[in-house]
């Protein structure tokens, strides 16, 4: 029986986040430039978006470009930005057919003008869709997001829009880029690295972590289903005991 068929239908995570890693190593293994790995990573994105939509995941957040990635060689950064624009142009019709919406988290204003333009166009085109929301983390890092949220909260306290006593978990949630989204129940990282790398640090407080050695360009929806299968067989206790969960 395929892993997909073994999935428990009413236990599909509402939100899955993925750290797509290993493009460079995949390219090296194939004797090619790093950008070749990124290009092939697009097919993996296509496959997981399709798979997540098919089984009813509501939000899929992909770490496509971190704040720290700006420090990579200019050639690679330019190639990644170009790939992004090209992928959006090529995929929007397909995303429309699949009833997918698009959202972006991160410091969007730091992205090149043409990337911002393409993203806004795609978000607008897909805005009335009701299926999966694909969330691209671009120029994103958790510390950037939290710093930005703290700054805006402080400003709103100063302007007396809120009081310091109003600051609680829900208020902080509402100042994050992920406001309105459920926290990810499952975080996947490919390529055998066991790190979080500044991704959704606040939101993954109770997420299940799944690390796989598969390099991102080799990752397909079947690998996503395998991760979900594993997730469905874990006991999530949220600080409680097993006995409390039974009662
Ligand atoms: C990490 O691999 C991957 C990235 C920094 C970029 C991810 C981008 C894509 C998959 C392509 C475009 C995305 C979309 C959404 C269309 P790495 O370069 O760090 O690999 P390494 O650790 O092996 O060097």
Confirm whether 120 is a catalytic residue.
Answer: no
Q: Is 184 in the pocket of ligand 1 (CB under 6 A)?
A: no
**How many beta carbons lie within 10 A of that of residue 161, not counting itself?**
10
pLDDT digit string (tens) for 224-240?
999 999 999 998 788 88
CA of 38 to the centre of ligand 1 (A): 5
pLDDT of residue 217: 98
The minimum-distance atom of ligand 1 relative to the CA of 44 is: 10
Does 21 qualify as catalytic in the annotation?
yes
pLDDT band of residue 185 (cuts 50, 70, 90) is: very high
CB of 22 within 6 A of ligand 1: the answer is yes
Q: What is the dihedral of CA 118, 48, 146, 67, to 10 degrees?
A: -60
pLDDT tens-place string over residues 49-101? 999 999 999 999 999 999 999 999 999 999 999 999 999 999 999 999 999 99
Residue listed under structure tokens 């390219």: 27
Torsion of CA 42, 45, 51, 55, to 10 degrees: -160
Q: Which of 40, 69, 148, 183 is catalytic?
A: 69
pTM over 0.95: yes
CATH dotted code for 12-141+183-234: 3.40.1180.10
Ranges of H-type helices in the chain: 3-6, 23-29, 34-55, 74-97, 113-125, 142-158, 169-175, 221-232, 242-246
Distance 128 CA to ligand 1 centre (A): 29
Task: Give pLDDT tens digits for 11-25.
Answer: 999 999 999 999 999
| Cα 35 to ligand 1 centroid, rounded to whole Å | 9
Q: pLDDT band for 106, please (50, 70, 90 cuts).
A: very high
């Amino acid at each position: 029986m395929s892993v997909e068929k073994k999935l428990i239908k009413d236990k599909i995570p509402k939100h899955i986040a993925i750290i797509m890693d290993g493009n460079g190593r995949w390219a090296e293994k194939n004797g090619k430039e790093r950008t070749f790995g990124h290009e092939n990573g697009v097919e993996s994105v296509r496959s997981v978006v399709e798979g997540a939509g098919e089984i009813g995941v509501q939000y899929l957040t992909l770490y496509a470009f971190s704040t720290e990635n700006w420090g990579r060689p200019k050639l690679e950064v330019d190639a990644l930005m170009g790939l992004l624009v090209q992928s959006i142009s090529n995929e929007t019709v397909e995303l429309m057919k699949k009833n997918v919406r698009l959202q972006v988290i991160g410091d969007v204003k730091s992205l090149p003008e043409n990337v911002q333009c393409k993203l806004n166009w795609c978000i607008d085109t897909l805005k009335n869709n009701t299926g999966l929301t694909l969330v691209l983390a671009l120029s994103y890092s958790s510390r950037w997001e939290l710093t930005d949220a703290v700054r805006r909260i402080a400003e709103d306290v100063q302007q007396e829009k809120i009081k310091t006593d109003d600051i609680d978990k829900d208020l902080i949630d509402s100042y994050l880029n992920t406001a309105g989204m459920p926290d990810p129940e499952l975080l996947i990282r490919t390529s055998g690295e066991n790190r979080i790398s500044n991704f959704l640090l606040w939101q993954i407080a109770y997420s299940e972590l799944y690390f796989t050695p598969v390099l991102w360009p080799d990752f397909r929806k079947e690998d996503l289903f395998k991760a979900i299968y594993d997730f469905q067989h874990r006991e999530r206790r949220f600080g409680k005991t097993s006995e409390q969960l039974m009662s």
